Structure 1
Amino acid sequence: MTSPMPPLRSGQINDAGILVTTIASSPTAPLSPPPQTTGSPTPTPLAEAILDTLVHRIGKDAQAARPHDWLAATILTIRNDIIERWMTSTKAAHAAGAKRVYYLSLEFLIGRLLRDAIANLDRTGEVTEALASLGVELAALEEIEPDAALGNGGLGRLAACFMESLASLDLPAYGYGIRYVNGMFRQRIDDGWQVELPENWLSHGNPWEFERRESAYFIGFGGEVVGHEDGSIHWKPAEALEALAVDTPVVGWRGKRVNTLRLWTARAFDPIRLDAFNAGDHIGALAGQARAESLVRVLYPSDSSAAGQELRLRQEYFFSSASIQDIVRRHVQYFGDIRTLAEKAAIQLNDTHPAVSVAELMRLLTDHHDLGFEEAWGITKATFGYTNHTLLPEALESWPLPLFERLLPRHMQIVYAINAKLLREARAVAGMDDRAIAAISLIDEGGERRVRMANLAFAGAHSVNGVAALHTDLMKQTVFADFHRLYPTRINNKTNGITPRRWLQECNPGLTALIREAIGDGFLDDLTRLTDLRPFAGDAGFRERFMAVKRSNKVALAAHLRESMGLRVDPDALFDVQIKRIHEYKRQLLNIVETVALYDQIRSHPERDWTPRVKLFAGKAASSYHNAKLIIKLANDVARRVNADPSVGGLLRIAFVPNYNVSLAEKIVPAADLSEQISTAGMEASGTGNMKFALNGALTIGTLDGANVEIRDHVGADDIVIFGMTADEVADRRASGYEPRSVIEGSPELRQAVNAISSGVFSPDDHGRYAGLMDGLYAHDWFMVAADFDAYASAQREIDRRWADKDGWAASAIRNVAGVGWFSSDRTIAEYARDIWGVM
């Protein structure tokens, strides 16, 4: 008889390869039964309802229930209230004949939903009390709820914030995306390297979702297009599968509306070919189902191969076609006349991923509803809006024309027809030359012919918006300059925002309570009321309480880092944080190189009064992005060397925190003192992390990029630390023949840090590991790491000086909170609703 395995401690790896990150009870260990003493609290009606659900829906009694059973019972019980409100919201929209907003996004990074739902229903206290009466802690249940693996970065988190604000503003809306089984990936760090593992968030089901069997649609690929004598056209796909809707309710603030997030899953019409199976081809018999399931397995499959490119295009058409078919079906069902579609539906494309929707709607209108091309095109443009999120050429999607035509032959015809109309209009109306015509064409003729999805989205929308003032101006000057000349009123700005419910009230209850005590509850419904907090920056007592809240959050994060990583950090040190997708333009490398320089200065000059710092990094690198993954390894190699060096005396600690997601951000953001927003100017569309940190009382160190410009305007230039070149200066320097080698050689700190990294000081097991990465700085330095280094290092020393003035730092942090109420996603959505969608 074998002895039972001892329980795993935090920081150990279990048999499934999962890092144990909490010392709380595991989801499979029974909770202690409710105390039976005379003083035990009497179960509330909600507690009794949860117990009833536990017995009749989960099949457990209180004595046998495990934490995951209590979590499911709690969600299912609270869900009953949500369902009632959901049905009421839907019926009211139908009865009013309301225009609906349809938000199409390849990502929805919604995070955990239990805390969000009960907070928006204003039932947190009630649920806490009910569970406590049963001997269960709500916070413990919240920690074991998995994050929905439906996104990766700012694009998906923005979509989640927007969906919550749409419901909070009582606007009827659907979100449309893909129900990813494994998401992007779960990140594990092995010996400093990123390892990608499947994110099995659905392995035990999802109590928040509802399968809608009646909402299933035919999705075709390939085949041929057949013309008939009557002029009609019929696409005969060679391959077909079914898109099936799965709905998740989205609860608005104070529960005033519950909207729908509709995600698509895929299945083959014939899940198993019995003839092949019975003939012995047991694997081949399931090929159709496997091919369908591949569409919903992974977010952003690598497109470094032809097969990867094809899978991405299939994914994008799959969810776009299902969504557009669903929107058209709903409109015809409730309003009858397809010609009124734009009056009752506003479709917003979140970046270029759903841009094929333009061609899909044209196909449905012309081929299935018998509208002429001109009429269909007018309806299409009036219905669609397009949000651009990037000026990076590689992120403006395009597809090889042969691939697009092979998979979507009818859509290729429609793209050509749209392009012909567009180019004739450009030549006749605007008198554009051949260069301008080539720039706006939907077909890129430079080299391999490709279909430009951003151009298709721009041409097919009545509104095209950027997501920060600077970004929108650059759109007009760069990637869409010729489109802007052709359609001078189409581009507009809608600066991004974040939902204050999740990013203040829920993740930072201590600060929320302090603000309520100071200025009342008005900011809970209108975040701009935070401006009332500004005078409190001069109140010594308030500053002390404000910093006490911050320290409490830092203590909690320090405990998490100790439990999950075995790393001890001082909560009284400055917490310097850069958490975001790992990409060279976001310049984690600049941060790491400056950290190496700081490390060297601390060792060389121990007599100086250095500011104790905890440098925190987190984020995922795309699986095929070599340099980004190398930057993660460098961060971990530097951390390993610095954290083990007694000569720095605890003045510098570094951690790369693995598997960055919404729940991890909810721990880190409230604890941050310094927010790193240091992208190369002109490359970050907006950013939303910058808003989250400032809302939670962190000072920003950053370039004049994205929404940093507007944050500076709202919080005040004295309460943000700006460094480096502007977007115009970056462009001018590139154009004038930038020579990074001379810059590096002219900066002693930079040169020494680069040489140390390049020579293998931080990689003794492989001295040449970072030689190529550092050679890239010498050779071209496209992201201006060297060019901005001295300004960045100087800005960091300015941060040191500010940190030494504790009262001044606290006052500045308070003014940051007071100044960023404008960056609520409620404000952003109200602007979309008024200016683009026509629903307010």
Structure 2
Amino acid sequence: MSVETLKRAFADNLFYTQGKDTSWATRRDYYMALAYTVRDRLFHRFFKTRKRYFAKDVKVVCYLSAEFLMGRHLGNNLINLGIYDRVNEAVRESGLDLGKLIELEHDPGLGNGGLGRLAACFLDSLATLEVPAIGYGIRYEFGIFHQAIKDGWQVEVPDKWLRFGNPWEICRREASVQVKFGGHTETYHDQQGNPRVTWIHDRTVTAIPYDTPVPGYNTNTVNTLRLWRALAGDDFDFQAFNAGDYDGAVASKMSSETISKVLYPNDNTPQGRQLRLEQQFFFASASLQDIIRNHLRLHKNLDALYEGVAIQLNDTHPTVAIAELMRLLIDEHQYYWDKAWYITQKTFAYTNHTLLPEALERWPVSLFESLLPRHLEIIYEINHRFLEDIKTWFPDDEDRLGRMSIIEEFPEKSIRMANLACIGSHAINGVAALHTELLQKHTLRDFAELWPEKFFNKTNGVTPRRWILLSNPKLSELITEKIGDGWLSNLDQLKQLEPFVEDADFRRRWREVKHENKLQLTQYIWKHNSLEVDPHSIFDVQVKRLHEYKRQLLSALNIITLYNRIKENPNADVFPRTFIFGGKAAPGYYMAKLIIKLINAVAEVVNKDPEVHGRLKVAFLANFNVSLGQKIYPAADLSEQISTAGKEASGTGNMKFAMNGALTIGTLDGANIEIREEVGAENFFLFGLTAEEVQSTKVQGYNPMDYYHGNAELKAVIDRIDSGYFSHGNQELFKPIVDSLLHHDQYMLLADYQAYIDCQEKVVEAYKDQERWTKMSILNAARMGKFSSDRTINEYVNEIWKAKPVKVESEEYDSNNAGLNVQP
């Protein structure tokens, strides 16, 4: 790990791995060479970790997730390995800039938002806490789309993140498994005369694992992220080729490999829905086969599988794994139903991430019948046995039977995956206190009444290594100077910053760090948006997935309100503000895309209007991802967390902003409630209806037109949109938004509008007093200890997974014994 050794390894990887010397090497060659140099050092700990787990026969946490939004690996791995400074020196002495090399790494777009980023934070914390774990998912070739903005509209472009290769992964082709689809089932009798079922499939897809090492911070533990790539069982039909059917010769290959092409294909078509289900079953089946194979290397049977592994379902996407494990136990390993069901329930736990009924997955029975006929039979049997129990426990309650059934009869006969997850798991958790409460009261009420002991709250958290240390090095340096670096593995230590709130010099330095971060973001905005923004203005930021319930539209109404005030009185006292947006809309979500168009249309007008005099600027930053987030969170003054109360499960962006000293304007929704409790009500800008008030207002009969006619300023805002002012006179373009607000307003923007506008004025008054604002900023960061993913994972480990940390010793690595008794 010495600088000289690192320099030599760097040069060797450039020459021998990249096949370049310094006269021909590109900057990307240097990045790849450096990545391989770091990966080589990761592998020492990686193999030692696996060897240790095998020797100790430890319980392993298996985290099944459709998304893993890992972000760039190089910088994070340097930090967690503790060699950032040495590598920086080695690179500098080689005549290069480490920061520029890090920027060359392409973000793996293997997630869409909080769900995938949470999974990545959890893997980081599991390794940091030395908990044996493996993440299972899909190696999407194109991942989530790359978002371009053309004429204000979102345009989806393939994200070719693998175009130049991925130096962090290792293909384990020898550990491939076969995943079956389609066909039919047949019944036979075993030697004891018991009926058994065989699945006669008609298509096989090969699942090839790619392993990425995940190092913990300041430990020797390096866990695994195993992602599956789909390959046809038979790549090439030679008979078809010889017959002149050249397309048919590779049809199977093309069809099978589509499974791991793109994250969340548009499901507005039957083909898209089928592909999504194929993806979910593909990685669930492959992962379970891998888990069972590893377990049987140390145990003679699967009787106590749940003592060797804890499988966490990250939302409903992997829930088909419950039916697949039952199939594997019953059909492949000859278990009887009761024993197989006991093992299955004890093995699985389920995290719910949504309160939106439309987001709780349902699959048509007809689709299951054609794609997974055996699993449909198993689900019917699970449901039959479960409903028989419900009839016993709740006699004469037909409505309850209908609500709790896995099978939904109307409007289309479908499988409710959330119900299957609840029935087939021993633990169910929400991801924030309010979210869990609402799950128990509303979304999953029947299951909470039946099994209250199954329900847990596990408030989300984020890793401070990436979201403070890596993202905000200047702030990290200031914090460490004052309280030492123990906060990086125990975020509660940030409370030690509180006494420095009264230190004028510390406050000045805190402001300087924020200003430097804002300067860096202004440079990014100028480079990518050709927009000059004032670093002294309030950076008012809302970056997250585009969805109506997250209410980016409410922010747009505020911008137009301020704009109208200036148009009515060019000398109006409007404090300089820069509104920054970022986030992707699902390809088939028209309204979310139209909101992006409106934000960009407002930006076009506001940014060019000479009467505004730079008091307002609006920037929509395209292709929001982890790396862009690392630039934005440290620079934000105000964090917009304004979802309709009762709709956001938790949020994690709210935590990243606050950790970096941004103040929050928000509703009592998701983790906002707990953030406000921790940082203090006086350091949080609260507005809007509560979840209970939202519900009661809708029950009483909510009429958005009453707000429209009763608030002149609000009416002027909506009228300006409706007039075509922001659409070059086209009154039809934004009509769907206007109609939605005036006649439906499902997410109650008009009800919360005035409270939001009033609260924004409080923000301005606080910001004008920079000493007060700085104190609030420091206290926000200092009181965020609860929101480390280390705390969240500790709770999962102790209360749900019942796993134990395993220390990996740091003695000299023995490459001769690295693979002893360890099979990929």
Question: Normalising TM by the smaller chain, what interval?
Answer: over 0.9
> Partner amino acid for 2:731?
H
- How do 1:127-142 residues align onto structure 2 when only pairs under 5 Å count? 127-142=87-102
2:363 is equivalent to residue 403 of structure 1 = no
2:45 is equivalent to residue 85 of structure 1 = yes
2:712 is equivalent to residue 748 of structure 1 = yes
For 2:683 and 2:396, locate their aligned partners in 1 and report how far apart those are by CA, in whole Å. Answer: 46
Out of 634, 638, 646, the position equivalent to 2:610 is: 646
Q: Does structure 2 retain, via aligned residues, the 8 Å contact 1:759–1:768?
A: no
Q: Does structure 2 retain, via aligned residues, the 8 Å contact 1:85–1:255?
A: no
Please state whether the residue corresponding to 1:232 is helix, strand or coil. strand
> Partner amino acid for 2:709?
E
Using the TM superposition, give the Cα deviation of residue 244 of structure 1 relative to its aligned residue in structure 2, in angstroms: 0.9
- How do 1:244-643 residues align onto structure 2 when only pairs under 5 Å count? 244-431=208-395, 433-643=397-607
Alpha-carbon RMSD: 1.1
- How do 1:86-105 residues align onto structure 2 when only pairs under 5 Å count? 86-105=46-65
Please state whether the residue corresponding to 2:250 is helix, strand or coil. helix
Q: Which runs of 4+ in 1 moved over 4 A?
A: none
Using the TM superposition, give the Cα deviation of residue 348 of structure 1 relative to its aligned residue in structure 2, in angstroms: 0.0
Q: Does structure 2 retain, via aligned residues, the 8 Å contact 1:587–1:785?
A: yes
Out of 84, 99, 111, the position equivalent to 1:124 is: 84
Using the TM superposition, give the Cα deviation of residue 394 of structure 1 relative to its aligned residue in structure 2, in angstroms: 1.2
Using the TM superposition, give the Cα deviation of residue 435 of structure 1 relative to its aligned residue in structure 2, in angstroms: 1.0
For 2:344 and 2:482, locate their aligned partners in 1 and report how far apart those are by CA, in whole Å. Answer: 50
2:145 is equivalent to residue 185 of structure 1 = yes
> Partner amino acid for 1:650?
G
Using the TM superposition, give the Cα deviation of residue 301 of structure 1 relative to its aligned residue in structure 2, in angstroms: 0.5
Using the TM superposition, give the Cα deviation of residue 64 of structure 1 relative to its aligned residue in structure 2, in angstroms: 1.8
Please state whether the residue corresponding to 2:453 is helix, strand or coil. coil
Q: Partner residue of 2:743?
A: 779
Using the TM superposition, give the Cα deviation of residue 765 of structure 1 relative to its aligned residue in structure 2, in angstroms: 5.2
Out of 6, 17, 26, the position equivalent to 1:66 is: 26
Using the TM superposition, give the Cα deviation of residue 254 of structure 1 relative to its aligned residue in structure 2, in angstroms: 1.5
Out of 198, 205, 209, the position equivalent to 1:234 is: 198
Q: Percent identity?
A: 49
Q: Partner residue of 1:225?
A: 185
For 1:735 and 1:293, locate their aligned partners in 2 and report how far apart those are by CA, in whole Å. Answer: 49
Deviations 1:13-40 (A, max 9, x none): xxxxxxxxxxxxxxxxxxxxxxxxxxxx
> Partner amino acid for 2:799?
D
Out of 705, 709, 723, the position equivalent to 2:669 is: 705
Q: Partner residue of 1:169?
A: 129
> Partner amino acid for 2:5?
P
Q: Partner residue of 1:7?
A: none
Please state whether the residue corresponding to 1:214 is helix, strand or coil. helix
Using the TM superposition, give the Cα deviation of residue 603 of structure 1 relative to its aligned residue in structure 2, in angstroms: 2.9
Using the TM superposition, give the Cα deviation of residue 94 of structure 1 relative to its aligned residue in structure 2, in angstroms: 0.8
For 1:322 and 1:66, locate their aligned partners in 2 and report how far apart those are by CA, in whole Å. Answer: 38
Using the TM superposition, give the Cα deviation of residue 610 of structure 1 relative to its aligned residue in structure 2, in angstroms: 2.2
Q: Partner residue of 1:30?
A: none
2:155 is equivalent to residue 155 of structure 1 = no
Please state whether the residue corresponding to 1:734 is helix, strand or coil. helix
For 1:575 and 1:334, locate their aligned partners in 2 and report how far apart those are by CA, in whole Å. Answer: 56
Out of 83, 88, 107, the position equivalent to 2:67 is: 107
> Partner amino acid for 2:204?
A
2:172 is equivalent to residue 208 of structure 1 = no
Please state whether the residue corresponding to 1:253 is helix, strand or coil. coil
Deviations 1:286-328 (A, max 9, x none): 1100011110111110111111111111110001000111111
> Partner amino acid for 1:492?
F
Q: Does structure 2 retain, via aligned residues, the 8 Å contact 1:426–1:432?
A: no
Q: Partner residue of 1:38?
A: none
Q: Does structure 2 retain, via aligned residues, the 8 Å contact 1:701–1:721?
A: yes
> Partner amino acid for 1:253?
Y
Deviations 1:756-793 (A, max 9, x none): 00110100152321112111111010000111000110
Using the TM superposition, give the Cα deviation of residue 45 of structure 1 relative to its aligned residue in structure 2, in angstroms: 2.2
For 1:239 and 1:49, locate their aligned partners in 2 and report how far apart those are by CA, in whole Å. Answer: 46
For 1:43 and 1:522, locate their aligned partners in 2 and report how far apart those are by CA, in whole Å. Answer: 25
Q: Does structure 1 retain, via aligned residues, the 8 Å contact 2:3–2:86?
A: no
2:106 is equivalent to residue 146 of structure 1 = yes
Using the TM superposition, give the Cα deviation of residue 523 of structure 1 relative to its aligned residue in structure 2, in angstroms: 0.7
> Partner amino acid for 1:839?
A
Q: Does structure 2 retain, via aligned residues, the 8 Å contact 1:687–1:707?
A: yes
Q: Partner residue of 1:13?
A: none
For 2:739 and 2:370, locate their aligned partners in 1 and report how far apart those are by CA, in whole Å. Answer: 42
Deviations 1:45-92 (A, max 9, x none): 211110011111111112221110100110111111100100011111
Higher mean displacement: 439-448 or 459-468:
439-448
For 1:284 and 1:785, locate their aligned partners in 2 and report how far apart those are by CA, in whole Å. Answer: 53
Distance 1:653 1:431, change over 3 A: same
> Partner amino acid for 1:636?
N
Higher mean displacement: 174-183 or 594-603:
594-603
Q: Does structure 1 retain, via aligned residues, the 8 Å contact 2:460–2:789?
A: yes
> Partner amino acid for 1:559?
Q
Q: Does structure 2 retain, via aligned residues, the 8 Å contact 1:507–1:670?
A: yes
Deviations 1:483-506 (A, max 9, x none): 111112111100000000000000
Q: Partner residue of 1:57?
A: 17
> Partner amino acid for 2:10?
I
Q: Partner residue of 2:807?
A: none
> Partner amino acid for 1:745?
H
With the length of structure 2 as denominator, give the TM-score of the two structures: 0.96
Using the TM superposition, give the Cα deviation of residue 204 of structure 1 relative to its aligned residue in structure 2, in angstroms: 1.3
Out of 758, 783, 791, the position equivalent to 2:722 is: 758
Q: Does structure 2 retain, via aligned residues, the 8 Å contact 1:43–1:134?
A: no
- How do 1:798-809 residues align onto structure 2 when only pairs under 5 Å count? 798-809=762-773
Using the TM superposition, give the Cα deviation of residue 233 of structure 1 relative to its aligned residue in structure 2, in angstroms: 1.3
Deviations 1:425-461 (A, max 9, x none): 1121244611111111000012211000010011000
> Partner amino acid for 2:163?
S
2:798 is equivalent to residue 838 of structure 1 = no
Please state whether the residue corresponding to 1:254 is helix, strand or coil. coil
Q: Partner residue of 1:47?
A: 7
> Partner amino acid for 1:139?
G
Higher mean displacement: 425-434 or 117-126:
425-434
Deviations 1:504-553 (A, max 9, x none): 00000000011111212221220011111112112111111001000000
For 2:347 and 2:18, locate their aligned partners in 1 and report how far apart those are by CA, in whole Å. Answer: 45
For 2:136 and 2:453, locate their aligned partners in 1 and report how far apart those are by CA, in whole Å. Answer: 28
Out of 770, 773, 783, the position equivalent to 1:819 is: 783
Deviations 1:651-674 (A, max 9, x none): 100010001110100001100000
Distance 1:794 1:432, change over 3 A: farther
For 2:460 and 2:3, locate their aligned partners in 1 and report how far apart those are by CA, in whole Å. Answer: 44
For 1:522 and 1:144, locate their aligned partners in 2 and report how far apart those are by CA, in whole Å. Answer: 31
> Partner amino acid for 1:148?
P
Structure 2: gaps spanning 5 or more residues: 805-824
For 1:399 and 1:640, locate their aligned partners in 2 and report how far apart those are by CA, in whole Å. Answer: 42
> Partner amino acid for 2:290?
D
With the length of structure 1 as denominator, give the TM-score of the two structures: 0.94
For 1:223 and 1:276, locate their aligned partners in 2 and report how far apart those are by CA, in whole Å. Answer: 22
> Partner amino acid for 1:123?
I
Q: Does structure 1 retain, via aligned residues, the 8 Å contact 2:723–2:729?
A: no
Using the TM superposition, give the Cα deviation of residue 648 of structure 1 relative to its aligned residue in structure 2, in angstroms: 1.1
Using the TM superposition, give the Cα deviation of residue 43 of structure 1 relative to its aligned residue in structure 2, in angstroms: 7.5
For 1:485 and 1:400, locate their aligned partners in 2 and report how far apart those are by CA, in whole Å. Answer: 27
For 2:588 and 2:189, locate their aligned partners in 1 and report how far apart those are by CA, in whole Å. Answer: 49
Distance 1:76 1:255, change over 3 A: farther
Please state whether the residue corresponding to 1:732 is helix, strand or coil. helix
Distance 1:490 1:430, change over 3 A: farther
Structure of higher RCO (CA pairs closer than 8 Å, 6+ residues apart): 2
Q: Does structure 2 retain, via aligned residues, the 8 Å contact 1:759–1:771?
A: no
